[in-house]
């Protein structure tokens, strides 16, 4: 009933090409942004910011980066965490070695550095596809982590490559409360998500999807495969790089190369599989799901055990967590390969008619 587009007519192509052509969606998004920027800072506790909201936004950004590459351009990558590491260490070094560089500039440069590295490891994609490409990006994952441990210069000669990030200063103000960091991360993520949405709805995105769906036809239409694929690697790594810089500066404050492990790359991959491959919103849904599920199980499992009067060990929780996690990934791969974003879309289509049968 509420979600009706009856009476909303488009009279120009500009109106038809809006990101949110339906009025209710526009209201929803504005409401969401108001809640995120105003509501949450007023009510959420410090724990929520530093343990849930900030990592959620950062991982959503990384997932968005991987989604550009894998979901839109169809190039499978297992190196997302490594590109995050490049971003984190690049931002650290720019802060360290360039006198008085503003933070936002160093984050952008960190993204560009990651983009450069991404292009380099994207080169094999010109010859190989699918699983073989995934193995090639696996090389990036191991090589970059090895490099960061091997060359002390990159971590300013600290032992085993651990870096402690500089204080976050923005426009002459030090950001030290979680709320301020949250607002910084949120602003960056919102701007970058909008940029990604604009890219994928224009000819850049169409070229990516064309290469993904049928590369021979794409090249016959006039799409140059090499620049298109490399651009996808560059943009994707840029996003991962900025996410990595935020991960180090706004979330943990101190990172080591081994933290950006293959396991983290897989987590980002699971986020887009569960959230929705080839969907901007899916990246956010997937990140939320994967980060919140363990927290939810932590709370819910002891409660359920109590109800049933079962003996309870904390080791069991983590075992059950892993089991549920694996089962859910299999469930999504089989039942809904397009993930939560697709479920949301189906729900919207149903809502258009609800409560009438047709």
Partner 1 sequence: MSKKIGDVILDLQNISLRFGGVKALTDISFDVRQHEIRAIIGPNGAGKSSMLNVINGVYHPQEGRIYWHGEERKRMEPHMAARQNIARTFQNIALFKGMTVLDNIMTGRITKMKSNFIEHALWFGRARKEELEHRCKVEEVIDFLEIQHIRKTPVGRLPYGLQKRVELARALAAEPSMLLLDEPMAGMNVEEKQDMCRFILDVNDQFGTTIVLIEHDMGVVMDISDRVVVLDYGKKIGDGVPDEVKNNEDVIKAYLGAGH
CB 261 within 8 A of CB 81: yes
# residues contacting partner 1 (CB under 8 A):
31
**Of the listed pieces 101-109, 130-138, 182-190, 223-231, which binds partner 1 according to CB under 8 A?**
223-231
CB 160 within 8 A of CB 149: yes
Of 167 and 224, which CB lies nearer to partner 1 in the complex structure? 224
Q: Is 219 in the site for partner 1 (CB under 8 A)?
A: yes
Stretch 178-217 residues interacting with partner 1 (CB under 8 A): 195-196, 198-199, 202-207, 209-210, 212-214, 216-217
Of 136 and 231, which CB lies nearer to partner 1 in the complex structure? 231
- Work out which of 224, 319, 348, 350 binds partner 1, going by CB under 8 A: 224
Q: Which two tokens stand for residue 135?
A: 């193995």
Of 35 and 333, which CB lies nearer to partner 1 in the complex structure? 333
Q: Is 174 in the site for partner 1 (CB under 8 A)?
A: no
270-307: buried (b, 16+ CB within 10 Å) or exposed (e) per residue?
Answer: bbbbbbbbbbbbbbbbbbbbbbeeeeebeeebeeebee
Helices of type H across the chain? 13-16, 23-34, 40-43, 46-47, 54-66, 80-97, 103-122, 130-150, 178-200, 203-213, 215-221, 225-246, 262-275, 280-308, 314-335, 339-353
Compute the least distance from the CB of residue 160 to partner 1, in Å.
38
Q: Is 307 in the site for partner 1 (CB under 8 A)?
A: no
Distance, CA of 342 to CA of 293 (rounded, Å): 19
Q: Is 221 in the site for partner 1 (CB under 8 A)?
A: yes
Compute the least distance from the CB of residue 220 to partner 1, in Å.
5
Of 181 and 342, which CB lies nearer to partner 1 in the complex structure? 342
Distance, CA of 299 to CA of 122 (rounded, Å): 42
Q: Is 13 in the site for partner 1 (CB under 8 A)?
A: yes
Number of Cβ atoms within 10 Å of the Cβ of 340: 20
Distance spanning both ends of the chain, measured CA to CA? 12
DSSP secondary structure letter of residue 158 = -
Stretch 262-291 residues interacting with partner 1 (CB under 8 A): 278
Compute the least distance from the CB of residue 194 to partner 1, in Å.
8
**Of the listed pieces 9-17, 77-85, 293-301, 318-326, which binds partner 1 according to CB under 8 A?**
9-17
Of 95 and 113, which CB lies nearer to partner 1 in the complex structure? 113
Q: Is 160 in the site for partner 1 (CB under 8 A)?
A: no
CA 198 to chain centroid, in Å, comes to 16
Stretch 228-247 residues interacting with partner 1 (CB under 8 A): 231, 235
The sign one gets for the Cα dihedral 207, 210, 214, 217 is: negative
Q: Which residues bind partner 1 (CB under 8 A)?
A: 13-14, 17, 195-196, 198-199, 202-207, 209-210, 212-214, 216-225, 231, 235, 278
């Amino acid at each position: 009933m509420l979600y009706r587009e009856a009476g909303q007519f488009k009279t120009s192509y500009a109106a038809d090409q809006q990101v949110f052509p339906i009025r209710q969606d526009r209201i929803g998004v504005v409401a969401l942004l108001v809640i995120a920027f105003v509501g949450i800072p007023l009510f959420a506790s410090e724990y929520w910011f530093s343990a849930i909201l900030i990592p959620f936004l950062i991982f959503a950004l990384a997932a968005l980066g991987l989604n550009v590459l894998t979901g839109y351009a169809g190039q499978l990558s297992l190196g997302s965490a490594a590109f995050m590491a490049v971003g984190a260490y690049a931002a650290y070094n720019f802060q360290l070695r360039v006198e008085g560089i503003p933070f936002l500039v160093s984050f952008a440069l960190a993204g560009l550095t990651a983009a450069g590295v991404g292009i380099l490891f994207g080169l094999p994609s010109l010859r190989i596809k699918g699983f073989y490409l995934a193995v090639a990006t696996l090389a990036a994952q191991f090589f970059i982590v090895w490099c960061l441990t091997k060359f002390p210069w990159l971590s300013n000669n600290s032992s085993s490559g651990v870096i402690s990030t500089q204080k976050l200063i923005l426009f002459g103000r030090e950001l030290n409360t979680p709320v301020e960091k949250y607002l910084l991360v949120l602003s960056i993520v919102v701007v970058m998500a909008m940029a990604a949405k604009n890219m994928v709805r224009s000819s850049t995105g169409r070229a990516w999807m064309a290469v993904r769906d049928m590369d021979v036809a794409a090249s016959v239409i006039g799409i140059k495969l090499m620049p298109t694929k490399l651009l996808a690697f560059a943009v994707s790594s840029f996003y991962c790089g900025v996410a990595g810089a935020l991960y180090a500066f706004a979330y943990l404050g101190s990172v080591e190369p081994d933290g950006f492990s293959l396991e983290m790359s897989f987590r980002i991959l699971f986020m887009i599989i569960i959230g929705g491959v080839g969907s901007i919103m899916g990246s956010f849904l997937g990140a939320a799901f994967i980060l919140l599920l363990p927290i939810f199980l932590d709370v819910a499992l002891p409660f359920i055990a109590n109800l049933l009067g079962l003996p309870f060990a904390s080791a069991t929780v983590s075992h059950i967590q892993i089991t549920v996690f694996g089962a859910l990934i299999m469930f999504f791969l089989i039942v809904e390969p397009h993930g939560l974003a697709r479920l949301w879309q189906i729900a919207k289509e149903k809502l258009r008619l609800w409560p009438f049968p047709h």
